[in-house]
Structure formats: structure tokens, C-alpha cells
Amino acid sequence: MKTHDQLIASLLQRPGVKTEVERIDREEGNLLDVLLKARHEAGLSQADIAALMGTHAPAIARLERALATGKHSPTLATLRRYVSACGKRLQLTVC
């Protein structure tokens, strides 16, 4: 039986899987950049965003870290609340 790491390594050897993982990493990295830019433009800290969203600062830190590492994808509702707290509006574009 393969370990988790061995299974991941074997899956990443498949061209289609590797391409999709790289695409998701790029998109989530871009999303994180946009969210951080919105937060900084609004002059808000993670604690400020958390208060406006009705949560705690560590939850915002986890959200931003999860996007940086690609280990979690936030829901649209969470993204909408985050950008709303920054005084922005969420707009999705399908290309």
C-alpha cells in the first residue's frame, strides 16, 4: 500500500493532473494577491477584516495562508464577505 506522499507523487507524474494542479495554484495565488491588495488599499489589518466579517483574526490568517499554500479553497460567500469588508464588490469573470 502506498503512503499519502507516494500517491501524490505518482498522481503528479500524470501530465493532466500536474497541469491542473499548476492551474489551480496560479489561480489561487492570483486570488490571494487580489484579496491582499484590497485589504491593504482599505488600510485594514487581518483583525480589522475579522471584526467586519464577524469572526476572529486567526480565521483571516488561516484563510490567507490557505490560499498561499493551496490547501483550501474558500467559498464564494466567504470571498464576498472578505471583499465587502474591504469596501469592494466581488465580480467573477469566466473567460
Determine the average pLDDT of the residues in 1-22: 77
Residue 6 lies in a domain: no
Question: What's this model's pTM, rounded to 2 decimal places?
Answer: 0.68
Residue 28 banded pLDDT, cuts 50, 70, 90: low
How large a percentage of the chain has pLDDT more than 70?
88
List the domain range (segments joined by +) for residue 44.
23-95
Residue 73 banded pLDDT, cuts 50, 70, 90: confident
CATH code at position 55: 1.10.260.40
DSSP string covering 24-93, please? HHHHHHHHHHHHHHHHHHTT--HHHHHHHHTS-HHHHHHHHHHHHHTS----HHHHHHHHHHTT------
Residue 84 banded pLDDT, cuts 50, 70, 90: very high
Is residue 12 within 8 Å of residue 21, measured between CB atoms?
yes
